Chain A
Amino acid sequence: METFVQLVVNGLGKGAVFALLALGFVVIFKATEVVNFAHGSLVLFGGYLVVATRETLGWAGAVVVGIVGAGLLALLVERLLLSRSKLADPFSLALLTIGVDVIITEEIVRRLGVSLPFIGDAWDAQPIQAGGVTLFRTHLVALVVATVLITLFFIAFRYSNWGIAMRAQAENKEAAALVGIRSARVTATAWLVAGLLAGVAVLFIATQDFSGAGLSRGTHSIALAAFPAAILGGLDSTAGAIVGGIVVGLVDALSTHYVSFAFSKSAVFLVMLLVLVIRPSGLFGTRETTRV
Chain B
Amino acid sequence: MSDTGTDARATTTAPPEPPQAPPRPTPRRGAQWWVRKALWLALFLVLLALPLYLEAQWLKAGQYMMVGAVGAIGLTLLTGQAGQLSLAHAFFLLAGATSYTVLSGPTGDPELVGFGLDPLLALLGAVAITAVLGLAFAPVAARLRGIYLGVASLALVFLGLYLGQSAESLTGGTSTGRPPATFELFGFPFSNDGDLEIAGVPIRETERVWYLFLALVVIAFLLARGAVRGRIGRAWRAVRDNEASAAVMGVNVPTVKAGVFAVSSAYAGLAGVMTVLWFDILKPDESEFGTYGINVSIAYLAMIIIGGLGSVPGALVGALLVNGLPQVLALYSTQLGWSTGTGEGAFTPILISSFVYGAAIILVVLFEPGGLAAIGRRIGQRLTFTRRGKE
> Could you list which residues of chain A lie within 8 angstroms of chain B, going by C-beta atoms?
35, 81, 84-85, 87-89, 91-96, 98-103, 106-107, 110-111, 113-115, 217-218, 221, 224, 227-228, 231, 235, 262-263, 265-266, 268-270, 272-273, 276-277, 280-282, 288, 290-292
Compute how far the CA of A114 lies from the CA of B355 in the bound complex, rounded to whole angstroms: 20
Cross-chain pair count, CB within 8 angstroms = 146
Using C-beta atoms within 8 Å of the partner chain, give the interface range for chain B: 35 or more
Is there an interface contact between A277 and B143, defined as CB atoms closer than 8 Å? yes
Residues of B within 8 A of A88 (CB): 365-366, 369
Is there an interface contact between A113 and B345, defined as CB atoms closer than 8 Å? yes
Is there an interface contact between B301 and A95, defined as CB atoms closer than 8 Å? yes
Q: In the complex, which residue of chain B has the Cβ closest to the Cβ of A269?
A: B155
Distance in Å: Cβ of A80 to nearest Cβ of chain B: 10
| Residue B287 CB within 8 A of the other chain | yes
Closest 9 CB pairs of A and B: A113-B344, A99-B361, A269-B155, A102-B358, A103-B358, A96-B365, A266-B158, A99-B362, A292-B244
Is there an interface contact between B305 and A106, defined as CB atoms closer than 8 Å? no
Given A276-B143, A292-B245: A231 and B358 interface contact (C-beta under 8 Å) = no
Is there an interface contact between A272 and B155, defined as CB atoms closer than 8 Å? yes
Q: In the complex, which residue of chain B has the Cβ closest to the Cβ of A100?
A: B362
Is there an interface contact between A290 and B244, defined as CB atoms closer than 8 Å? yes
| Residue B44 CB within 8 A of the other chain | no
| Residue B145 CB within 8 A of the other chain | yes
Given contacts A81-B362, A269-B154, 8 further A-B contacts (CB under 8 A): A91-B147, A96-B361, A98-B361, A102-B361, A113-B343, A265-B162, A266-B161, A292-B3
Residues of B within 8 A of A282 (CB): 148
Mask, B157-171, CB within 8 Å of A = 1, is 011011001100000
Residues of B within 8 A of A93 (CB): 365
Q: In the complex, which residue of chain B has the Cβ closest to the Cβ of A96?
A: B365
Is there an interface contact between B344 and A114, defined as CB atoms closer than 8 Å? yes
Is there an interface contact between A35 and B147, defined as CB atoms closer than 8 Å? yes
Compute how far the CA of A173 lies from the CA of B344 in the bound complex, rounded to whole angstroms: 47
Option from A106, A228, A262, A270 in Cβ contact (under 8 Å) with B355: A106
Compute how far the CA of A84 lies from the CA of B287 in the bound complex, rounded to whole angstroms: 36
- Tell me the interface secondary structure of chain A in the complex: helix
Is there an interface contact between A231 and B244, defined as CB atoms closer than 8 Å? no
| Residue B85 CB within 8 A of the other chain | yes
Of residues 1 through 37 on chain B, the ones whose CB sits less than 8 Å from some CB of chain A are: 1-4, 8-9
Is there an interface contact between B366 and A81, defined as CB atoms closer than 8 Å? yes
Residues of A within 8 A of B248 (CB): 292
B2, B158, B161 interface centre (most CB from chain A within 10 Å)? B158
Distance in Å: Cβ of B187 to nearest Cβ of chain A: 41
Residues of A within 8 A of B358 (CB): 99-103, 106
Is there an interface contact between A114 and B343, defined as CB atoms closer than 8 Å? yes
Of residues 100 through 140 on chain B, the ones whose CB sits less than 8 Å from some CB of chain A are: 139-140
Option from B9, B146, B159, B351 in Cβ contact (under 8 Å) with A266: B159
Residues of B within 8 A of A91 (CB): 85, 146-147
Option from B147, B165, B287 in Cβ contact (under 8 Å) with A235: B147
| Residue B354 CB within 8 A of the other chain | yes
Residues of B within 8 A of A92 (CB): 365, 369
Is there an interface contact between B155 and A266, defined as CB atoms closer than 8 Å? yes
Distance in Å: Cβ of A142 to nearest Cβ of chain B: 23
Residues of A within 8 A of B165 (CB): 262
Is there an interface contact between A291 and B3, defined as CB atoms closer than 8 Å? yes
Distance in Å: Cβ of B275 to nearest Cβ of chain A: 20
